[in-house]
Structure 1
């Protein structure tokens, strides 16, 4: 059954506008069926963004960007160039439109994890696609480590009930430390540094 982590969406398209305010600025996003959290910004994504926006550095990757809220907000408020990737082609089309409407300098491209991306980053943000399964999530976590510059950081948000303990244990097989930056409504924001 297709889900938001599928490359091509079978669900008929019904684009719509969504408005969201963050740190005194209002953003207008185009969303659609077949993308993650199409009706409102997911709370986990909000907690991740609110927690780390002031410390992320370029080169920056919004991994699994969906329709683009993280990359657009970071690019807009931090005034940095952003890379945004996703496996969902409908989501990528929306991300391109949303970056353009907010005048964000963004490189938006198709990639299942890093299969079409050789770049190295100082900051990678990820709200893992839990519904895609543990194998996919763990692959994205490992590939993220491999694509960080020395001193770079991976920031993730994950709910306690959706495998926080096991994900943290897995992450510590290649990262030296998992720092919890924030906890809110069951969501935990982790920062993992590559030495």
Structure 2
């Protein structure tokens, strides 16, 4: 069965536009089937972008959008922080194609670097990591993903995560704490937890 976290999803490639507003700015991005939340801006992503502290206009990054899907988080970060480089990382090839197209749509093609996980240079350290992580891949894979990327925060760096409470938001917060990371609940809204790590 094909999932949005499959490397090569088989779902329909019918294109659609999704419009949303974040921080007073309007975005219109293209999606297709086979990517996460292809019909709308995911409610968890919306909560994350409205409740976490978006970077300022002078922030240089680099930032990481982990599990970028078609690129809504990367597009917002690159727009509000026009000096920053944003790595948009996803295992899903179709998602990466859409994220690159949406980077061009938002005028940020030169600053959003779309990549598969293994294509990010090892030496890159991130000022911020943003993620609506793919909880449905299972706890083992989710933990492995966070164990891989959280250590790539630069000194003083921050990770922003959003997790549905009913999908284990509170237990994930406990697990991150047990791994030695300072973590605080920034916000709770519509059944989602916004976690600030670092």
Q: Distance in 2 between matches of 1:146 and 1:176?
A: 10
Gaps of 5+ in 1: none
1:116: which partner in 2?
119
Report the Cα distance in structure 2 between the residues aligned to 1:176 and 1:8, rounded to whole angstroms: 33
The residue number in structure 2 matching 1:135 is 140
Q: In structure 1, what is the Cα distance between the partners aligned to 2:15 and 2:119?
A: 27
CA distance in 2, matches of 1:32, 1:53: 29
CA contact (8 A) 1:144 1:154 kept: no
CA distance in 1, matches of 2:185, 2:163: 11
Aligned-residue Cα RMSD (Å) equals 1.5
Distance 2:53 2:184 in 1: 16
Cα separation, 2, equivalents of 1:42 and 1:124: 18
> Within the alignment, does 1:73 sit opposite 2:76 as a pair?
yes
Structure 2 unaligned regions, length at least 5? none
1:153 equivalent in structure 2: 158
CA offset at residue 24 of structure 1? 2.4
| Range that drifts further, 16-25 or 83-92 | 16-25
Q: What is the total number of aligned residue pairs between the two structures?
A: 190
Shift of the alpha carbon at 1:165?
Answer: 2.5
In the alignment, which residue of structure 2 is the partner of 1:163? 168
Give the TM-score normalised by structure 2. Answer: 0.90
Change (3 A) 1:43 1:85: same
* Secondary structure at 2:77 match in 1: helix
- CA deviation string 1:92-145 (max 9, x = no partner): 00000000011112111112xxx3322211100111101111111111111122
Q: Give TM-score scaled by structure 1 length.
A: 0.92
SS at match of 2:155: strand
- Partner of residue 34, structure 2: 34
The runs of at least 4 consecutive aligned structure 1 residues that moved more than 4 Å come to none
